[in-house]
Structure 1
């Protein structure tokens, strides 16, 4: 190893969370190094959020257009996959990260390309693709932001079948004639929507009883109904036992429990995520390689006052916007603790350890976690669902309303179908959660997020008047239902 190069902060992982840490620590005047083994910008920019939405947007826009009088006939034709792929490739920078790397340089962060590993207290070793070795030492903090990877279950024949993961599903350059999707997750629902819309014959195999099991039951039901109407096959209670690929490029066969077989041209396994922590040196700190990293509310790892973990690796919320939020929290905490040390305070930051963190505590991950599933219809939710709230011991009431009865929805599209639910804490009369399912429902979510995060009293929400005629009028209808 060469002599260590010292920085105030070393960030291991250059995805959205790692980039945001670097941005915040540099803004606080702390020298920062960022280590990335693939592309700066990470999973979200190249294989997840950005390319998936680029694939989905034309599908959803066409679906909306087909429900608008005077426009429906013009939107009956097929999409142009080549144009959709070109648009997707533009937004991913054709899987080149020059722009992101230039941005890091513009804020004064130092980029090290290669595989980084923790080795002891406040040190990170980096091996570049060319075999060069560097040692980085951190005065104040090392931040792990290495993200997560797709999990492929160890089914017989799975290796030879060469299944897609979310990466292949968002970067493919051809439309498969038949696409089998295993899983009931967000990835399964979104990629079924995208590829069915682009011309594949999609079959979704859900082991459980419904799509989108982490959302209110009606969300998965409405999305599954719409997929079926679009021509996809959605089967629940379908457990896969084995997979067989015919040669190197031939069709793939899925064997279900009971012996039934299904054949497709490609197979997408959308069966969960695991932390990318298996080879980053956690064992040198007494932590378990390949496991999620537990953190406190400032995203610091207990027992290691210099080590932080943000984004997917801490398992608080596997969503890009939440990882970026955590990075902002952790960046503020690191800067505050560094300032405390410089002023002669305790090495761990006395104010931080006293529990009086205020804005430097990550609370949105548990109180007001927003998520949108970009299917047709869109499914958007924040906070607790009804079952979650009841399991948590709250005395609650769920208030439901048919979104199609809101005048703004009828004007948005003919035959609009959707549903909304708010979950109210009856003891405090505040919202614990809200779910909206319907075309354009994603744009309703932030108002609900503000209401949940700020614990706005129901009595005060009456004075947030929704504009007429918009779909946001659903708020008035939900409140009327609650008051009876």
Structure 2
């Protein structure tokens, strides 16, 4: 072990791991500073455990909607088995495997809390309380992620609410759960816990899934209610009180009682105690970067992943990490920087081609921008919708399949700006849309991308046909 490296990375989640890995692959030395589990939020309290909780109920519902298979399903969901499977995906909250991967990749690890202490310097408070100072010859990359935001609702903090961490790691399913919020975490955890046997109430003051197409949010609300979830939109939470039997949530529409409460109202950057002031930056805020992920005015400092506030998704953070690691190497070696639009050293997709899946009932898979966002950005667009009932593959996939697809077309350039799919198992369709958007594939060329029959991908042909009819 040494105290001097080419690159120091604060944060050992997937984003920090990728920054360090690209740096090492480029011939630099790198160290990760991590105070919790190597693997980060996604591995232990977000992406992996949440999808494990959702998958078993989803598979059961899928079987129940296919004739022949439905008749074979005679038992109920085994909740304990679902939780055990979830635990296996988190490695029972042990990071031995992740640490072994760091070692195999040639990346050093220092456990402790790291803070910037000067130019290219990081002071690490080790578990025994001592402080070790590391120096970066080239760059420091901040990849500390984000935390769940707790809104200033009277009594909420004192009620010791669940956040996404507790919801994804719980070992018992409460009899009832009230969820404050209407975003992705709120929707997915309401879906999971309703399927696992809890009576769930969702209090969404601003509605559900405000970043997706409105029709998608409406179908998700309908799906949640079909699972027995009490979805209340436009309802403001006034106060929260906990007693020995649970919590009382007072809203402007009456009180809600539940055994447990989950707050899912957004995220806040994990940047409050990492020494940003030594670089002339405000603490506790999103760290602004250019498209090479470098902090303007501080040529040795990068912010990658959630902490920069660009796109709070693990896959986008890892994409940023690949760009950041590669550009750090290029700058260290005095090589040219490919920072033009769609260059290898920039995160252009953050602005134009972000994919996301909400693992709700039904699923929402979207890439690019919504129709409203495209118009707001000044594009002349046309939105084209088709129902999945027109797609033979969807009818085969599930009896009575319901869903909808939309593509948002830039009328001037004849390329796609956004695509949204809603329906059971649409997640695996979205990468084709992401490629079409990122590649700026002309609609005339998309006609030659022939979907296999009979698959759900035939929805692409139906969208193009609908566009053609509108243009006639």
Shorter-chain TM-score: what band?
A: over 0.9
Q: Match of 2:141, SS?
A: strand
Question: Is the 2:44–2:90 Cα contact (8 Å) retained in structure 1?
Answer: yes
Quote the Cα distance in structure 2 between the aligned partners of 1:373 and 1:45: 17
Query: 2:65 matched to which residue of 1?
Result: 67
Could you tell me which of 151, 169, 172 is aligned with 1:171? Answer: 169
Q: CA deviation at 1:238?
A: 1.0
Quote the Cα distance in structure 1 between the aligned partners of 2:231 and 2:343: 46
Query: 1:313 matched to which residue of 2?
Result: 307
Given the alignment of the two structures, is residue 379 of structure 1 paired with residue 364 of structure 2, yes or no?
yes
Question: Is the 1:4–1:135 Cα contact (8 Å) retained in structure 2?
Answer: no
**Where in structure 2 are the equivalents of 1:13-28 lying within 5 Å?**
13-28=11-26
Q: Match of 1:55, SS?
A: helix
Deviations 1:402-450 (A, max 9, x none): 0122110000001111000000000000000100000111111000000
Deviations 1:51-102 (A, max 9, x none): 0000000011111111000111333532111101110001101101010011
Query: 2:239 matched to which residue of 1?
Result: 242
Residues 142 and 268 (structure 1), Cα distance of their counterparts in 2 relative to 1, 3 Å cut: same
Could you tell me which of 99, 120, 127 is aligned with 2:97? Answer: 99
Scaled by the length of structure 1, the TM-score of the pair is 0.95
Quote the Cα distance in structure 1 between the aligned partners of 2:342 and 2:369: 24
Q: CA deviation at 1:356?
A: 8.5
Query: 1:262 matched to which residue of 2?
Result: 256
**Where in structure 2 are the equivalents of 1:70-469 lying within 5 Å?**
70-75=68-73, 77-208=75-206, 210-247=207-244, 250-257=245-252, 260-340=254-334, 351-352=336-337, 358-469=343-454
Quote the Cα distance in structure 2 between the aligned partners of 1:353 and 1:483: 38
Deviations 1:177-221 (A, max 9, x none): 11100100000110011000010011111101x311100001111
Quote the Cα distance in structure 1 between the aligned partners of 2:317 and 2:72: 41
Q: Which moved more, 1:58-67 or 1:393-402?
A: 58-67
Query: 2:7 matched to which residue of 1?
Result: 9
Q: Which moved more, 1:351-360 or 1:218-227?
A: 351-360
Q: CA deviation at 1:354?
A: 7.8
Q: Match of 1:359, SS?
A: coil
Poorly superposed stretches of 4+, deviation over 6 Å: none
Quote the Cα distance in structure 1 between the aligned partners of 2:223 and 2:404: 14
Paired residues in the alignment total 469
Quote the Cα distance in structure 1 between the aligned partners of 2:117 and 2:73: 58
Scaled by the length of structure 2, the TM-score of the pair is 0.97
Quote the Cα distance in structure 2 between the aligned partners of 1:215 and 1:145: 27
Could you tell me which of 48, 51, 54 is aligned with 1:53? Answer: 51
Question: Is the 1:151–1:271 Cα contact (8 Å) retained in structure 2?
Answer: yes
Quote the Cα distance in structure 2 between the aligned partners of 1:196 and 1:357: 42
Q: CA deviation at 1:358?
A: 2.2
Quote the Cα distance in structure 2 between the aligned partners of 1:172 and 1:358: 43
Q: Match of 1:244, SS?
A: strand
Q: CA deviation at 1:244?
A: 0.4
Query: 1:345 matched to which residue of 2?
Result: none
Quote the Cα distance in structure 2 between the aligned partners of 1:374 and 1:354: 34
Quote the Cα distance in structure 1 between the aligned partners of 2:74 and 2:349: 42
Q: Match of 2:238, SS?
A: strand
Quote the Cα distance in structure 1 between the aligned partners of 2:54 and 2:74: 17
Q: Match of 1:87, SS?
A: helix
Quote the Cα distance in structure 2 between the aligned partners of 1:21 and 1:244: 43
In angstroms, what is the RMSD of aligned CA positions? 1.4
Quote the Cα distance in structure 2 between the aligned partners of 1:156 and 1:181: 16
Q: Match of 1:119, SS?
A: strand
Question: Is the 1:66–1:76 Cα contact (8 Å) retained in structure 2?
Answer: no
Residues 292 and 177 (structure 1), Cα distance of their counterparts in 2 relative to 1, 3 Å cut: same
